[in-house]
Amino acid sequence: MKNLGNLNVYAVRLLPKTEAIAPGHRACQGCAEVLAVRLVGKALGRDTVVACATGCMEIISSPLPTTSWRVPWIHVAFENAAAVASGVEAGLKVLMRKGRIPKKKINVLAMGGDGGTSDIGLQALSGALERGHNFLYVCYDNEAYMNTGIQRSSSTPFGAATTTSPAGKVKPGQVTWKKNMPEIAVAHNIPYVATACPSYPFDLMEKVKKAAKVDGPAYVHVLSVCPTGWRLPPDLSIRAGRLAVETGIFPLYEVEEGRYKLSVEVPKLRPVEDYLKIQGRFRHLTPDLIEKIQERVTKDYNKLLAKVRFSEEMS
Amino acid sequence: MPKRVGMEVSIGASEAVRLANVDAIAAYPITPQTHIVEHLSEFVANGELDAEFIPVESEHSAMSVCCGTSAAGARTFTCTSSQGLALMTEIVFIASAMQLPIVMILANRSLSGPLSIWNDHTDVMLVRDCGWIQAFGENGQEIFDLTLAAFKIAEDHRVVLPFMVNMDGFILSHVIEPIEILDQETVDKFLPPFKPVYRLDPDNPVTMGAFAMPDLYTETKKYQDERLKASLPVIEEIWKEYGDLTGRYYHPVETYKAEGAKTLFITMGSFGETASTAVDTMREEGEAVGLCKIRLWRPFPYEAFWNAMKGVENLIVIDRATSYGGPGGPVASEIRSALYTMENPPKVVDFIAGLAGRDVAPGDYKAMYKRAQERIASGDIAGYEIYGVRE
């Protein structure tokens, strides 16, 4: 419980009432991604401009002539949310400087899925992080191209079956390991990077608030359970997110000015099988493949712990 | 009275952007556009222009950033060439659909491959159907004038569309010419600050870039098409206003020594200058030849074009891009299409010339004229001929 000190909101009734995204959108049942979007919106409040990449969240929220967005929202294309957000940030800044719009703090949020972030949008994101725009990028990672029909991305975990990494007679689904996007963000030496999951809503919102406060770019990587793509009953979305954290598959941590800190400490990791076995995308995995995943997860988790320890020693 | 000063055309173009007091510039370096962004970043670095200069990591991001700045309500400029335009093409189409009045100078250059940095119109023809207003300048003064006027046209609430000023790479961009630079006071009178119809404002939230299902997509395209067509009278009006201010009047279609001409050359961009010299010589030699320059490529100025075609028997189109295996170069194809409803339309002979910086001198116009006469006499005027191929 020692991390409670990081949180200053504990009760649902204390959550902000403001919503950036209205109900009535077209997301699938049990979509944890749109839940994360909602929580991010609550954390940021109404003085926010959203630049959204093409993908599920764009499609479910903006069919002409309707919109779910209660904050100004712009979608231009798939791979350029970070660039569009760069423009919005620069535009607002210069107009405030020249006195053409009132001076106030406006959060600029860029958002995209794992494909729009770690694959096709990686260059635009890297550029925006390097240029130091004062904006927040949130990657909603559901671990495949769900909007086009569950095709693999570089963020799809090893062993997951997707429509372009099917589990076949000779291949066990995805044969590559998940790209570590938060580490790529850290490598840009930006002030704030964090991982989050809507299964831990207060932690997610705290991180988003913190990210919005820093001067410069911030990156939050949100594991967003997709029941449709993960072949999971919709009522297990939140559970799956918790298991991802409890098994160490998706540790929750933040990197503030280069210093790593675990947000949710798990004294004893659960076996990865607890997480894998509830999802249809992993159902073909054999014990030896599960063991292989277990080894990798343990190794990566220990690597992260070492970084946390190193950060503690340095401070 | 403003003075004419000798300067590189790219500097002249940058001066126009500075005088327009743009709020944001996002660009990526590519030859031959570079001098413009270099000068602009100098203005910003020296405090001579209060703008955000965003040195992006690609042209795709350049146009994406421009969409963001323009949607935020900032007057926005970018420039590119060739491969850069090709890379940003996806977003170029979206900028017009979203009605973001960005102004872009395209320093025209051929597309790879083979790689070539030199001038032709292959790049602009790639985005012919992108929904932007597209105009061509013939010399440095025209580039300066068209760029300044472009902001006013693009941002006019009857228009609200992006504007592309085409400027031949090297032939214009790197050449020193006498250019009359307006003073700030005159420009400010002509060009008020940008007042967007919609902008990304938390106090008045709007959704920009929503997607359309089949039941609405066609309607959005019809609207976009009507919008672009309806910009024509506004373009003419603002060019007239600019002319009244400076004495330099621009028209969608312009002719030179067309009176009494049986044959007209058709050019776009800087080739108009050499073509006029060629026409002068040929007129002296007794040929009934003149020149028609298409300044406004989109929206295509049909009426003005038809008026220029009255009484003309033959057209020699100088295309500066190839439509491989097509019925003609892109300009000739459009010209033939535009002539289709005309009674007794002129015959069209299409030459593709001046690809990737290949020089087309006055003598070449004469040679093309001769060759066109032969082809017309033989009755074979279909398709196109790539001129000046070395044996």
pLDDT of B381 above 50: yes
| Amino acid code (one letter) for B367 | A
With CB atoms and an 8 Å threshold, state whether B74 touches A95.
yes
Which pLDDT does position A10 carry in this prediction? 62
Which A positions 62-121 lie with beta carbon below 8 A of chain B?
62-67, 69-77, 79-80, 83-95, 97-98, 100-101, 106
The overall average pLDDT reported for chain B is 97
Q: Which chain B residue shows the shortest CA-CA distance from A45?
A: B202
Q: Is the confidence at residue A16, as pLDDT, over 90?
A: no
In a domain, A9, yes or no: no
Q: What is the pLDDT of residues B195-229, one digit of tens each?
A: 999 999 999 999 999 999 999 999 999 999 999 99
Which residues 6+ apart lie within 8 Å of A122 measured at CB? A184
Please return the burial class of A256, using the count of CB atoms within 10 Å of its CB with bins 0-12, 13-18 and 19+.
middle
Domain that holds residue A38: 29-314
Partners of residue A260 on adjacent β-strands = A255
Would you say residue A43 lies in a domain? yes
A49 belongs to a structural domain: yes
How far is the CA of B141 from the CAs of B5, B7, B31, in angstroms? 10, 10, 21
Would you say residue A23 lies in a domain?
no
Across the range B3-30, mean pLDDT stands at: 97
| pLDDT > 60? residue A8 | no
Q: Is residue A101 part of a domain?
A: yes
Using only C-alpha atoms, what is the Rg of chain B?
21
Nearest chain A residue to B98, by CA = A76
Q: What angle do CA A198, A200, A205 make, to 5 degrees?
A: 75
Spatial separation of the C-alpha atoms in residues A22 and A82, rounded to whole Å: 23
User: Which residues does residue B5 pair with via DSSP β-bridges, in sequence order?
Assistant: B179
| Tens of pLDDT, residues B85-96 | 999 999 999 999
pLDDT of A3 > 60? The answer is no
Peptide bond preceding B114: is omega within 30 degrees of 0, i.e. cis? yes
Contact assessment for residue A274 and residue A247, using Cβ atoms and an 8 Å cutoff: yes
Quote the pLDDT of residue B327. 95
Cβ-based neighbours of B55, under 8 Å, separated by 6 or more: A131, B26, B27, B28, B41
Q: What is the pLDDT of residues A163-191, one digit of tens each?
A: 999 999 999 999 999 999 999 999 999 99
Q: Report the run of H or E that residue B367 belongs to, with start and end.
A: helix B362-378
What is the average per-residue pLDDT within B378-383?
A: 96
- Which chain B positions have a beta carbon within 8 Å of A74's beta carbon? 67-68, 71, 200, 207-209
Question: What is residue B244's predicted lDDT score, i.e. its pLDDT?
Answer: 98
| Range list of H helices, B202-312 | 214-246, 271-284, 302-309
Q: What is the mean pLDDT of residues B241-258?
A: 98
Mean pLDDT of B337-362: 96
State mean pLDDT over B317-334. 97
Q: Determine the Cα–Cα distance for residues B380 and A212; give it in Å rounded to an integer.
A: 69
Rg (CA), chain A: 19
- Residues from B contacting A (CB-CB < 8 Å) are 23-24, 26, 50-52, 54-58, 60-61, 64-74, 76, 90-91, 94, 98, 193, 200-202, 204-213, 216, 220
Does residue A5 register a pLDDT over 60? no
pLDDT at A4 over 90: no
Indicate the DSSP class of residue A116: I
B74 → chain A, closest CA residue: A91
A6: in domain: no
Q: Which of B65, B193, B204 sits opposite A100 (nearest CB)?
A: B193
Min Cα–Cα distance to chain A from B286, Å: 56
* Average of per-residue pLDDT values in chain A: 96
pLDDT of residue B2: 73
CATH number, residue A201 = 3.40.50.970
pLDDT in tens, A246-270: 999 999 999 999 999 999 999 999 9
Mean pLDDT calculated for residue range A156-162: 98
A212 to chain B, any CB pair closer than 8 A? The answer is no
pLDDT digits (tens, 9 = 90+) for B160-194: 999 999 999 999 999 999 999 999 999 999 999 99
Query: Do B61 and A127 lie within an 8 Å CB cutoff?
Result: yes
Q: Quote the number of domains for chain A.
A: 1
Closest to B93 (Cα-Cα) out of B129, B66, B56, B136: B129
pLDDT for A12 beyond 90: no
Q: What is the ipTM of this complex?
A: 0.96
Residue B123 · residue B111 · CB < 8 Å: yes
> What's the gap between Cα A312 and its chain centre?
25
User: Is A13 contained in some domain?
Assistant: no
Give the nearest chain A residue to B202 (CA atoms). Answer: A47
- For position B391, what pLDDT does the model report? 87
Mean pLDDT of B254-270: 97
The residue of B64, B88, B89, B102 whose CB has the most chain A CBs within 10 angstroms, and thus the best one to mutate to test that interface, is B64
Specify the DSSP class assigned to residue A150.
S
Q: For B48-89, write each residue's pLDDT tens digit.
A: 999 999 999 999 999 999 999 999 999 999 999 999 999 999
Signed CA dihedral, B106, B111, B116, B119: sign only: negative
In a domain, A87, yes or no: yes
Residues B210, A75: C-beta atoms closer than 8 Å: yes
CA angle B157, B161, B165 (to 5 degrees): 125
Dihedral sign from CA coordinates of A112, A115, A119, A120 = negative
Q: Which domains does chain B have, with CATH numbers?
A: 4-246 (3.40.50.970), 253-386 (3.40.50.920)
pLDDT, residue A1, reads 45
Q: Which of A67, A74, A79, A97 to mutate to probe the B interface, most B CBs <10 Å?
A: A74
Nearest to A225 by CA among A30, A39, A4, A38: A30
Say what the pLDDT of residue A15 is. Answer: 83
What pLDDT is attached to residue B3? 81
Residues of B within 8 A of A106 (CB-CB) are 202
Residue A279 CB coordination number (10 Å):
21
